[in-house]
Structure 1
């Protein structure tokens, strides 16, 4: 699944809206907001797709892989 800015924006906006509407204290509100933003960012990072294109070479007789990892991230 590709990273979508609109999805991240919607998650952060939802977090702010929820906190603005609550009646709890300031620290509780900030903790809840920070937790929801962190969850949105983690979900976005986990949805990133890395597609290997070229660049790595494995020796025929074994040993470490060499080269430069070439990829696209979406």
Structure 2
């Protein structure tokens, strides 16, 4: 799956809608919100896909590849 503006927007909207129900004080609500926000952002970043198209060369005798990667981010 690729990054999705609509999915992220929906998840953020849900967080805002549920914030007041998750804590008795504003500070507790903010702690809950920040924890959930971190999860949403990390989950979205995990969906990032890099599509390699060209640019790296592997030495014939083995070893690290070299070059400049040509890619697209989805």
- RMSD, aligned CA: 1.3
Unpaired runs of 5+ in structure 1? none
**Partner residue, 2:43:** 43
Equivalent residues of 1:52, 1:72 under 8 A apart: yes
Which 4+ residue blocks in structure 1 deviate beyond 3 angstroms? none
SS at match of 1:68: strand
- Conserved? CA contact 2:22–2:28, under 8 Å: no
Could you list the runs of 5+ residues in structure 2 that have no partner in the other structure?
A: none
Q: Tell me the TM-score normalised to structure 2 length.
A: 0.90
- Aligned residue pairs total 74
**TM-score where L is the length of structure 1:** 0.90
Question: Kindly tell me: are residues 43 and 25 of structure 1, through their superposed partners in 2, closer, same or farther at Cα, counting changes over 3 Å?
Answer: same
